[in-house]
Amino acid sequence: MDMYEKIVSGEEKVSLVGLGYVGMPIAVAFARKIKVLGFDLNKEKVELYQSGVDPTNEVGDEVIKNTTVEFTADASRLKEAKFHIVAVPTPVNDDHTPDLTPVEGASRLLGQNLTKGSVVVFESTVYPGVTEEICVPILEKESGLTCGVDFKIGYSPERINPGDKVHRLETIVKIVSGMDEETLDLVAKVYELVVEAGVYRAESIKVAEAAKVIENSQRDINIAFMNELSIIFHKMGIDTKAVLEAAGTKWNFLKFSPGLVGGHCIGVDPYYLTYKAEQLGYHSQIILAGRRINDDMGRYVAESLVKNLIKVNIPVKAAKVAILGFTFKEDCPDTRNTKVIDIYKELGEYGITPIVVDPAADALEAKRLYGIDFQSMESIKDMDAVIVAVAHSCFLELPKEEIDRFFHPGHEQKILMDIKGLFDKKDYQENEYLYWRL
- Write out the catalytic residue numbers: 265
The CB density around residue 128, as the number of other CB atoms within 10 Å, is: 21
- Compute the distance between CA of residue 5 and CA of residue 15 in angstroms, rounded to an integer: 16
Which CA distances in Å does 280 have to 67, 270, 326?
46, 16, 37
DSSP 304-341: HHHHHHHHTT--STT--EEEE--SSSTT----TT-SHH
Amino acid at 61: D
Q: Could you tell me the strand order of the sheet in which 70-72 lies?
A: 70-72, 36-39, 13-17, 81-86, 118-122, 151-155, 174-178, 199-201
Closest alpha carbon to 186 in 158, 162, 213, 151: 151
DSSP for residue 399: -
Element (H, E) at 209: helix 205-236
DSSP for residue 75: G
- Compute the distance between CA of residue 247 and CA of residue 158 in angstroms, rounded to an integer: 32
DSSP for residue 46: H
Asked if 437 and 420 touch (Cβ cutoff 8 Å), the reply is yes
* Paired residues of 374 in beta bridges: none
- What's the burial of 59, exposed, middle or buried (CB within 10 Å: 0-12/13-18/19+)? middle
